[in-house]
Amino acid sequence: MLTRLRIQNYALIRELDVDLRPGFSIITGETGAGKSILLGALSLILGQRADSSVLKDKSIKCVVEAVFKVDGLGLEELFLTNDLDFDNFAIFRREINPAGKSRAFINDSPVMLKTMQDIGIHLIDIHSQSQNLELNTQAFQLMVVDICAGNQDLLATYKDSYRDYRTLISDLAEAESVAEKSKADLDYYQFQFDQLHKASLTENEQELLEKEAELLTHAEEIKAGLSNVAELLNGENISALIQVKTSVGLITKLNNFLPEARGLSQRLDSLYVDLKDIADEVASIGENVEYDPERIRLINERLDLIYSLQQKHHVKSVEELILLRNSLEAKILEVSSNEEEILRLVQLKELKKAEIEDLSNRLSVKRHSVAEEIESRVIKQLLQLGMPNSKFKVEISPLLSPAAHGMDIVSFLFTANKNGVLCEISKVASGGEMSRVMLAIKALISKSKALPTIIFDEIDAGVSGDIAERMGIILKEISTDMQVINITHLPQIAAKGDHHFLVYKQDSESETTTRLKLLTKSERIEELAKMLSGENITAAAILNAEELLK
């Protein structure tokens, strides 16, 4: 339950610190006194967005803090999941600085607004006047049925599976789109690949072939040149080797007479050996060089193929052609793998569809099982609220395909008249009737939701007199199981409260502020009398107020 609310620098509130109590609390005050401001501040605690416009004093920050008693609510796991310390009391705090930057805390740990919302929905339900309009929506009507059916866990499982199902549908559509485009290009890829694959290209092939072609093209010229060199070095006539050999012999004879002769002799010997090696190598190379027209033809054909492929694919080397071939092969394999992926996704989608259909069937069974009980309990409450001729029906119809909440659509049908025809509640219920139906439904689901606190903001709009009295009785009954805080203008309802708070404005020389105080018994009688007769309180109004409090 909500045990304390502290507000600083919010709208017309300079400073407010109030302790709240279990049971049935009433908040009253003149129109414009600031009752809605309290709800606005409290909504910040539940994760609503805000900016610096809410600051009363634009130079200092706004702080709203609420303390909730949370022991026994089974929220330990939720706190643990969000990395928050768990204690018997949870402190929610929002701060908004003059620049409009917002910060949120739970038990002094910084949290995202989403975390504050996710935990807050387990602690408090704020029913504003605008929420009566939710009664017209099928989403709200379905939620009511699910709460009464106890579908929370099953629905959470279904939503997870449905989300996975939608993801699979999206993934499958994307894979099919990619496959469709790839298939359109497959013939082109295959033709290009086959041509490159058939060429059997190897790295450095072009350079080697070009060198060999150059050699074979000039084979006769090379052979003639080498032959002449061989003849000069080691021919039958006077050759370089013979002359060097003769020179060695002549120098050697001078060894005994000329000191330098020995060194020259050794150098000539070395020269002779080198020339002999050169002559042998020249002869060997010359023997291996042969003019081969057939080989030249084959090389030129191979090079022509390489050049044409390079020109066709706008590349400059065999290595780039090999990279292109490998890329085309990868694209062809990708088309094949896409088909395998599509088959896998189709199988997964069908399995997930079967799973959500099973879950939706289980949801539907439970929804149908509580429909009659909801109808009878709402009608019973409406009878208590002065609508003896009202009829209320929960109509559950099947959907053709799975949706976010299953395969059911729920409609609340209603008529307030004895011979009236059941129609959608949004088409036939007046404002006062809508308030009473909503109160009946809130009373119905309050126990099922197991919320510790519910706040009603003028749920009694459009009713008065005896009906207001009966509404007060129902609100009082709800408060036996949970903390109920009700903002009202009706004395018949205000008198039913265990605690009565008054919202009022206070003027000073410089500002107007909103304040809140817990009324004593005598103050409460005076406030009820004012609600009955206006500012001019009469003795009869005092007596009437005292009677109401009994």
Angle formed at CA 73 by CA 68 and CA 76, multiple of 5 degrees: 90
CA distance 46 to 92: 9
State the pLDDT at residue 203: 86
Helix or strand run (H / E) with residue 227: helix 219-234
Token pair, residue 310, equals 């390079």
Residue linked to tokens 């999941």 = 81
The strand pairing partners of 25, in sequence order, are 485, 499
Q: Are strands 406-415 and 423-424 parallel, antiparallel or unpaired?
A: antiparallel
The alpha carbon of residue 105 and the mean position of all alpha carbons in its chain are separated, in whole angstroms, by: 22
What does the alpha-carbon distance between residue 200 and residue 280 come to, in Å, rounded to a whole number?
A: 39
Can you say whether residue 29 is alpha, beta or left, with left for phi > 0 and alpha for psi between -120 and 50 degrees?
left
Q: What pLDDT score does 391 carry?
A: 93
**Block residue for tokens 């060194």:** 263
Is residue 102 a contact partner of residue 48, using CB atoms and an 8 Å limit? no
Cα separation, 188 vs 181, whole angstroms: 12
Q: CB neighbours of 427 closer than 8 A, spacing ≥ 6?
A: none
The single residue listed with the structure tokens 């074979």 is: 216
Classify 357 as helix, strand or coil: helix
- Write the CB contacts of 2 (distance below 8 Å, at least 6 apart in sequence): 20, 66, 67, 68, 123, 124, 452, 453, 483, 485
Which two tokens mark 515? 């304040």
Q: What pLDDT is stored for residue 113 in this prediction? A: 92
Cα gap 446→455, rounded to integer Å: 11
Provide the CB-side half-sphere exposure for 443 (13 A, CA).
25
Question: Within the chain, what is the greatest distance between any pair of CA atoms?
Answer: 163
Distance CA 528, CA 544 (A): 9
**What Å distances lie between residue 421 and 138, 170, 181, CA to CA?**
20, 44, 57
- List 125's β-bridge partners, or say none: 454
Q: Are strands 499-507 and 89-96 parallel, antiparallel or unpaired?
A: unpaired
pLDDT at 27: 94
Beta carbons of 45 and 7 less than 8 angstroms apart = no
Cβ-contact 23, 499 below 8 angstroms: yes
Which parts of 250-361 are beta strand (E)? none
Strand blocks (E) in 242-334: none
Dig out the tokens for 284 from the structure.
């060997």
> Distances in Å between the alpha carbon of 151 and those of 144, 202, 406, 504?
10, 68, 11, 43
CA 445 – CA 151 distance, rounded (Å): 13
Could you tell me which of 147, 184, 168 has the C-alpha nearest to residue 442? 147
**Would you list the DSSP string of 388-401?**
TT-EEEEEEEEEEE
Q: Are the beta carbons of 2 and 20 closer than 8 angstroms?
A: yes
pLDDT per residue, tens digit, the chain (550 aa), is 999 999 999 988 999 999 999 999 999 988 878 888 888 899 899 888 888 888 888 999 999 999 999 988 888 989 999 999 999 999 999 999 999 899 999 999 999 999 999 899 889 888 876 666 677 888 889 999 999 999 988 999 999 999 999 999 999 998 888 777 777 677 777 788 888 888 888 888 888 888 877 777 776 777 677 677 777 777 666 678 878 777 878 778 777 777 887 888 888 888 888 888 888 887 777 777 666 678 778 888 888 888 888 888 888 888 888 898 888 888 777 766 777 888 889 999 999 999 999 999 999 999 999 999 999 999 999 998 888 999 999 999 999 999 999 999 999 999 988 888 999 888 877 777 888 888 888 888 877 666 789 998 888 777 777 888 888 999 999 898 889 999 999 999 999 999 999 999 888 888 888 999 999 999 999 999 999 888 788 889 899 999 988 8
CA distance 28 to 458: 10
- The pLDDT of residue 154 is 95
Confirm whether pTM is higher than 0.85: no
- pLDDT value of position 395: 95
- Going from the N-terminus, what domains does the chain have, and what CATH number goes with each? 1-123+452-465+478-519 (3.40.50.300), 521-550 (no CATH)
Give the model's pLDDT for residue 229. 75
